[in-house]
Amino acid sequence: MAEAAPARPRVWVSQPLFDDIVARLDEYFDIDANRSVADHAPDAIAAALRDVDGALVTLNDPVGAAEIARATRLRAIANVGVGYNNLDVPALARAGIVATNTPDVLTETTADFGFALMMAAARRITEAEHWLRAGHWQGWAFRNMLGQDIHGATLGILGMGRIGQGIARRAIGFGMRTLYHNRSRLPDAVERECRARYVDADTLLAQSDHLLLVLPYAPENHHLIDAAALARMKPSATLTNIARGGLIDEAALAEALHAGRLAAAGLDVFEGEPRVDPRLLALPNVVLTPHIASGSLATRRAMVALAVDNLIAALGYGPDAGRPRNPIPVKPTLS
């Protein structure tokens, strides 16, 4: 009698990605793929992880001790994204589960978007478009929709990792003066290349004409930009967030924008995504986008390809078996 083929490892793909890329997993694994996009509840994630060896997840999928409690086969979680605040990395490591993310491939696309969002907020682009579409334009007027300049202005970058540096490089072309604050100061050569000067957080808040948040979210920096921080900013300044919503106290931001204590904001991320604070929705001087900073077609495909490679390698298959390119360090780094 012929021997039964050994069971293949099984992986869970938590939402539709790109079928042609995900299909590469077929070579090694059986696949359970979710056919719809969902913010998964802890029970649903725990059930999906229970009988699989690995998973491709996104920021919709919080995975921590509770979700993996009964996932006795699970050995690898590949996050499709650079941010990984949805993962409890120490809890995964304690259970012997390797976690990976997708840095680098999204740096330039995300920097492009951060710059665009800052410009849209400063120059009131979406506000002006909504106003025009609503039929308010009765004739050219000299003082209509006056905004804040980008060229020659002071750019503040909070979080000077790869994406922050990409934004600083773009600012050179606009003749901006760039200041940054980071957990640690960058080497001289990088500061020179980015033409960026290190300052303390208070100086950054006080001097920036346009402040961009590009730092990873961690519980220690929850509501880092609160009412007190906003009060230190210039009333003519703009604030742009392409990192994580939890960095900003949205109620305090809405109040500052409403009261004219801040000129405008550009927000791609929100604390309770996909819910957006109704006070922000009601304000004209905030540009709101649905967490799409890394969302060019080429970059989203590259992110999935990298996550697939990471999963294959982390589960011990393929050319890099056992050596995934992007293991997440167990101590979360704030760069």
Q: List the catalytic residues.
A: 244, 273, 291
Q: Does 247 bind ligand DGY (CB under 6 A)?
A: no
Of 294, 304, 308, 313, the one binding ligand DGY (CB under 6 A) is 294
Distance CA 41, CA 283 (A): 31
Residue 73: C-alpha distances to residues 4, 11, 77, 315, 326 (Å): 21, 10, 12, 11, 21
| H/E run at residue 55 | strand 54-57
Q: How far is the CB of 326 from ligand DGY (least distance, A)?
A: 12
Peptide bond before residue 284 is cis, with ω within 30 degrees of 0: no
How many CB atoms sit inside 10 A of residue 23's CB?
11
Least Å distance between CB 106 and ligand DGY? 6
Least distance (Å) from ligand DGY to the CB of residue 93?
20
C-alpha of 217 from chain center: 9
Give CA–CA dist 234/328, Å, rounded. 37
**What is the distance between the alpha carbons of residues 95 and 104, in angstroms, rounded to a whole number?**
27
332 binds ligand DGY (CB under 6 A): no
Shortest Cβ distance from residue 322 to ligand DGY (Å)?
25
Pattern 157-186, ligand DGY, x by CB under 6 A: ------------------------------
Nearer to ligand DGY, 294 or 310 (CB): 294
**Residue selected from 82, 116, 204, 314 as contacting ligand DGY according to rule CB under 6 A:** 82
Contact 11, 53 (CB under 8 A): yes
Position 83 contacts ligand DGY (CB under 6 A)? yes
- Rule CB under 6 A: is residue 81 a binding residue for ligand DGY? yes
Phi-psi category of residue 201: left, alpha or beta, with phi > 0 → left and psi -120 to 50 → alpha: alpha
Residues 38-77 that bind ligand DGY (CB under 6 A): 59
What 3-state class would DSSP assign to 112? helix
Return the number of the residue (82 or 118) whose C-beta is nearest ligand DGY: 82
DSSP state letter for 236: T
Kindly tell me which of 82 and 150 has the beta carbon lying closer to ligand DGY.
82
Span of 80-88, 203-211, 219-227, 315-323 interacting with ligand DGY by CB under 6 A: 80-88
Which runs of E-coded beta strand occur in 58-193?
A: 76-79, 98-100, 154-158, 177-181
**Cβ-based nearer residue to ligand DGY, 54 or 81:** 81
Instruction: Name the residues that contact ligand DGY, by CB under 6 A.
Output: 59, 81-83, 106, 294
